[in-house]
Amino acid sequence: MRLATIATPPSAAGAGDDVRALRRTVTVYDDGRGWTVAAAPLASIITGSGWPADPTTVGSGWDIASTGGDADAPDGSVLRPGTPVSVRADDFMLPYRPGTIIGIGLNYADTIAEMNWPTPQQPYLFPKLSSSATGPADSIVVDEELTSRVDWEAELGVVIGRTTRNVTTDDAMSSVFGYVAANDISARDLQEADGQWVRGKGLDTFCPLGPWVLTADEVPDPQELAVRTWRNGVLVQDGNTASMIFTVAQLISWCSRFFTLHPGDVILTGTPAGCGDFREPRVSLVPGDVVEIEVQGLGRQRNHVTGPALL
């Protein structure tokens, strides 16, 4: 099943208003019969906090708009759980804001070869700030006063579905709720300057997620998924999760040895070869660029790169 958060048209917008910002959000699902309004917000579905056992359940009394209140359909009617909806690519919003995002560095054999680095003997972990998460069609904001080496990293994101601590590799996949496409945008100059990667990985808008979360039952083998990136329409990454050094199960088990994973947490599993900073000559994202990433079965993001808004 696909689960997403979409924006409905605003009930009213004046001249000069940011129409996208005025749109209200609603959770939808697609079980193969088209997008339908769900009975609970996506974050609640993932965490299991107070939602019906079946997210397709209607008439549960849930407020279907995650911002509160009812959502307005284009014809002015109210969207209720179970209502079919038409969804366009630019309707998809950030699916939900994860409490914790864990990044995995240097996890693809082709990336290691491209960088001419030794193969890691254990997963390399780093934090990706929750505030960096943004939607699959939102702008990636690059402040050129802060960084001049912004890079793309298409990745498979793993959405945790239950509280997990010290799980074995054999049992780790039972902790997976589903999967989401992610772009681990990175400021390489800040990474180098700091040694650790909090600033370089954690700037606002540096983690586009979506367009949807695909439940684990729809992905029989997460180690057989194509991962691709386009910069301004040119294919720059074309990899496969089969090249991972540490599998999804191994990453979950490893992380859970050191800290508790909670429902809704996301593990970014690394990126294949083709990042811009390792090219000759080096290529960086700058305002005016468009970056698109796609993970097989998880949809395609399309984010414009912009400068900071003028205040």
User: What pLDDT is recorded for position 202?
Assistant: 97
Question: For residue range 85-140, what is the model confidence (pLDDT) as tens digits?
Answer: 999 999 999 999 999 999 999 999 999 998 888 999 999 999 999 999 999 999 99
Tens digit of each residue's pLDDT, the chain (311 residues): 999 999 976 544 444 445 455 567 899 999 999 999 998 899 999 988 534 445 444 333 333 333 334 444 444 445 788 899 999 999 999 999 999 999 999 999 999 998 888 999 999 999 999 999 999 999 999 999 999 999 999 999 999 999 999 999 999 999 999 999 999 999 999 999 998 899 999 999 999 999 999 999 999 999 999 999 999 999 999 999 999 999 999 999 999 999 999 999 999 999 999 999 999 999 999 999 999 999 999 999 999 999 998 64
Summarize pLDDT for 220-242 with one digit per residue, the tens.
Answer: 999 999 999 999 999 999 999 99
- What is the DSSP pairing of strand 290-295 with strand 2-8? unpaired
Sign of CA dihedral 19, 25, 26, 28: positive
Enumerate the β-bridge partners of residue 78.
72
In percent, the amount of the chain with pLDDT more than 90 equals: 78
Distance CA 36, CA 249 (A): 31
Host H or E run for residue 22: helix 19-22
Opening angle at CA 128, ends 123 and 131, nearest 5: 165
Domains in the chain: boundaries: 2-91, 101-306
So what's the pLDDT on residue 117? 86
What's the burial of 281, exposed, middle or buried (CB within 10 Å: 0-12/13-18/19+)? exposed
Please tell me the number of Cα atoms within 13 Å of 38 on its side-chain side: 26
Dihedral of alpha carbons 253, 258, 262, 266, sign: negative
- In Å, the largest CA–CA distance within the chain is 59
Which alpha helices (H) appear in 80-226, and where do they start and end?
109-115, 188-194, 198-202
C-alpha angle 258-263-266 in degrees, rounded to nearest 5: 70
DSSP string of 174-236, one letter each residue = GGEEEEEEEE--EEHHHHHHHSS-HHHHHSTT-EEEEEEEEEGGG-S-TTS-EEEEEETTEEE
Residue 114's CB is within 10 A of a number of other CB atoms, namely 15
Question: What CATH number was assigned to the domain covering residues 101-306?
Answer: 3.90.850.10
Residue 58: the pLDDT is 33
pLDDT at 74: 45
Q: Tell me, what's the pLDDT at 50?
A: 38
Residue 24 has what pLDDT? 79
